[in-house]
Structure 1
Amino acid sequence: MIENNQYKQWQEQLIHVKFPRWKELPALGLYIDQVVTIVNEQLSGVGVEPLTKSMVNNYVKKKIIQAPVKKKYAVNQLVDLLIIGFFKPSFSIEEIRRGIAQATLQSYPQQAYDRFVTILDQKLAGKKVAVENADAQTVELTSLAIDAVLAHLKAIHLVREMRCQQAPQVVVKKK
């Protein structure tokens, strides 16, 4: 059996990934370069492709996130970008926006985001999901969406590892 060292290292690294809670995020307005840096630092821990300034600008133009005020982004926009960045490997932007809207129907954005972080932390650590004072369907939706992204990322990392260890063989069709 082929050993998957890089894949195993990546899986072990996931245990230590901790997205910041709402109150741990910068409260002062941030410029786009700062926002992209913060978001990408978090996303790199799980192996998600980074966001670019162009992507953020397109999200603003398409009204996926609120426009910055005097070129400065607030915490709620940073949170939206963290969530979009995490879920974009497996879901369309429209599906992500609908999921955010659904998760914030019965709680404030801060509570919904912190619940997402709690569930993500538990999933990455391989623990059973336990969230107090939360709607069971919203917790289930968030858990399933996180599972989908993690399964997608695991498959990508495993295929990458397998390719590095053994190049695929070309099959020639006999006539």
Structure 2
Amino acid sequence: MTNLTKFKRWENSISRMHFPKWKELPSLGLYVDQVAAVINENLASLGMEPLTKSMINNYVKKKTIQAPIKKKYAVNQIVDLLLIGFFKNTFAIDDIRRGILQITSKDYPKQAYDRFVEILNARLKNEKVPDNPNFDPANEQLMNFGIDAVLASLKARYLLKMMAKESQVGKDNHENKE
């Protein structure tokens, strides 16, 4: 099987991935272990690095996300962590935070996050993004660019990893013949 065939198979598998909308996320307060599990379940399906409890605690200490109330995280904090986890390998944390603040300055966090999910899920499936005339066009463009950058980076890394693995296999086979 060629690298391109393997890549297309992987790309097809991520097209079945579904990032959760706001109402699909747990609405009861969760402890940090539970938050990490929810976040990582969604990130893993895209082959992204997990967020650890230490990372989450550091985001709280650095005020990247709001502190939990009585050690319990609400849905808005889960959303922030999902976004951080999605974007962190492509953008600096400060840029991610600024992007979240920019987008939520004109649109409510729930609407902004749900629009992000609509765009991401459509991009993963290679479908047309449904129109939303109620959403700020500049915010929408910012999300489109960010999502496209992350997905392009993910795809490039995956393909490079496969190519490197195959060239190592070829190298090992060549060395075995000598």
Q: TM-score, normalised by structure 1?
A: 0.92
Q: What is the RMSD of the two structures over their aligned residues, measured on CA atoms? A: 1.5
Counterpart in 2 of 1:39?
39
Structure 1: 5+ residue stretches without partners: 170-175
Asked if the contact 1:4–1:161 (Cα under 8 Å) also holds between the matched residues in 2, the reply is no
Shift of residue 45 of structure 1?
Answer: 1.1
Alignment of 1:46-61 (within 5 A): 46-61=46-61
Counterpart in 2 of 1:136?
137
Alignment of 1:102-113 (within 5 A): 102-113=102-113
2:137 is equivalent to residue 162 of structure 1: no
Which residue identity does 1:8 align to in structure 2? K
Counterpart in 1 of 2:89?
89
Which residue identity does 1:86 align to in structure 2? F
Shift of residue 115 of structure 1?
Answer: 0.5
Shift of residue 163 of structure 1?
Answer: 1.1
Aligned positions, number: 169
Deviations 1:111-168 (A, max 9, x none): 1100100000111110122331211111111011000000111111001100111129
Alignment of 1:3-42 (within 5 A): 3-42=3-42
Deviations 1:94-117 (A, max 9, x none): 000010011111111001100100
Deviations 1:22-66 (A, max 9, x none): 111111100001000000000011111110001000000000001
Counterpart in 2 of 1:116?
116
Q: Give distance in 2, aligned partners of 1:34 and 1:9.
A: 31
Asked if the contact 2:43–2:49 (Cα under 8 Å) also holds between the matched residues in 1, the reply is yes
Which residue identity does 2:76 align to in structure 1? N
Which residue identity does 1:117 align to in structure 2? V
Q: Give distance in 2, aligned partners of 1:139 and 1:47.
A: 25
Q: Give distance in 1, aligned partners of 2:13 and 2:57.
A: 31
Shift of residue 7 of structure 1?
Answer: 2.3
Give every structure 1 segment of 4 or more consecutive aligned residues whose post-TM-superposition deviation is greater than 6 Å: none
Shift of residue 4 of structure 1?
Answer: 3.6
Q: Give distance in 2, aligned partners of 1:49 and 1:40.
A: 8
Q: Give distance in 2, aligned partners of 1:10 and 1:51.
A: 22
Q: Give distance in 1, aligned partners of 2:91 and 2:46.
A: 16
Q: Give distance in 1, aligned partners of 2:9 and 2:37.
A: 24
* Matched-pair identity in %: 55
Shift of residue 5 of structure 1?
Answer: 4.4
Asked if the contact 1:90–1:149 (Cα under 8 Å) also holds between the matched residues in 2, the reply is yes
More off after superposition, 134-143 vs 86-95:
134-143
3-state SS of paired residue (2:89): coil
Which residue identity does 1:87 align to in structure 2? F
Asked if the contact 2:22–2:114 (Cα under 8 Å) also holds between the matched residues in 1, the reply is yes
Asked if the contact 1:122–1:128 (Cα under 8 Å) also holds between the matched residues in 2, the reply is yes
